[in-house]
């Protein structure tokens, strides 16, 4: 189960990984917490399209359906409303009724229902800072951690289905500085302009995450890019996502990366598989996932350091 904040996040953050696991025979569910209603149109070619301006909600739903087909995943909407990205100093208040301002227990119950229905062994989401400090990404982390812990507890949300305990929770780490440096240097060496100069300057002053898991998925970069282009309002077809050809990416950096946040099974780091440590037998894994007395053997969660929105 891949838990994301907005439609398009599932394609830009772990899209090739999900396509690989679908190909390998796993059931993969993308959960999108909001409809992306307050997202800007980031593709300059579509900014003035009257249809998009008139019905951005339906447009983004259609984009998500195309991306879902490209990746081969299952999909569900959690049903919350995009908070928007506040700008300014001081930051303006977020709108009433938005995802970030939902009581955590309300959002948690909604995701617990999906966990108990789908019964995943592995979940992926963002780190405690949201990957980047968008309020919906931060809320997605809080919600995912809370739901991971509550889903197996029969006393938590007893009307939300039979208890089910996922075994591993990962934070997506796909925009690591090492990866961006590698692509930047390859473009410079080829005599091409790199779109990553400012990105590197911003990132070099920040602490870097400790990645644990590298999933080889280069055979699915094309599927990922098809899914990205499906989100036409959000993705510039000439933008940085496509600056490095996929065959070059496959040679330089054939993986997508993750940070193991919680594991209830033994595993050895570094990993090359999100299912490392999960029993190979589905019956055994299901029996383990159905238990409610499991204790974390790996837990690297830290307190959030992001700014708060009122």
Residue 6 in marked binding region: yes
Q: Nearest-CA neighbor of 174 among 234, 126, 236?
A: 126
- List of residues 6+ apart from 149 with CB closer than 8 A: none
Phi first, then psi, for residue 123 (nearest 5°) are -125, 145
| β-pair partners for 31 | 3, 76
Residue 231 in marked binding region: no
Q: Nearest-CA neighbor of 38 among 172, 234, 225, 231?
A: 234
- List of residues 6+ apart from 213 with CB closer than 8 A: 170, 257, 258, 259, 260, 269, 270, 271, 272, 273, 274, 276
> What's the rounded Cα separation, in Å, for the pair 88 and 60?
26
Q: Which residues are annotated as a binding site for Zn(2+)?
A: 6, 9, 137
Q: Which residues are annotated as a binding site?
A: 6, 9, 137
């Amino acid at each position: 189960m891949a838990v994301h904040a907005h439609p398009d996040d599932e394609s830009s953050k772990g899209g090739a990984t999900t396509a690989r696991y679908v190909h390998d025979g796993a059931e993969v569910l993308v959960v999108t917490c909001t409809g992306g209603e307050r997202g800007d149109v980031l593709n300059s070619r579509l900014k003035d399209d009257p249809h998009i301006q008139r019905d951005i909600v339906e447009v983004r739903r259609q984009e998500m359906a195309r991306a879902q087909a490209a990746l081969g995943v299952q999909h569900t909407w959690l049903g919350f409303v995009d908070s928007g990205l506040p700008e300014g100093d001081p930051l303006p208040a977020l709108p009433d009724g938005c995802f970030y301002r939902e009581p955590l227990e309300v959002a948690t119950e909604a995701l617990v229902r999906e966990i108990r229905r789908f019964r995943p062994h592995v979940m992926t989401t963002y780190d405690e800072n949201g990957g980047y400090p968008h309020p919906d990404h931060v809320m997605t982390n809080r919600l995912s951690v809370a739901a991971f812990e509550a889903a197996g507890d029969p006393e938590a949300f007893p009307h939300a289905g039979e208890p089910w305990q996922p075994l591993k929770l990962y934070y997506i780490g796909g925009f690591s500085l090492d990866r961006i440096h590698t692509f930047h240097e390859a473009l410079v060496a080829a005599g091409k302009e790199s779109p990553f100069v400012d990105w590197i300057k911003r990132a070099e002053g920040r602490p870097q995450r400790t990645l644990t898991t590298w999933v080889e998925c280069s055979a699915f970069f094309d599927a990922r890019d098809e899914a990205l282009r499906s989100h036409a309002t959000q993705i510039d077809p000439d933008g940085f996502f496509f600056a490095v050809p996929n065959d070059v990416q496959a040679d330089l950096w054939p993986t997508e990366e993750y940070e193991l946040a919680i594991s209830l099974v033994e595993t050895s780091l570094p990993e090359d598989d999100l299912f490392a440590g999960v029993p190979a037998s589905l019956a055994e894994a299901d029996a383990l996932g159905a238990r409610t007395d499991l204790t974390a053997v790996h837990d690297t969660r830290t307190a959030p350091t992001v700014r708060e929105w009122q």
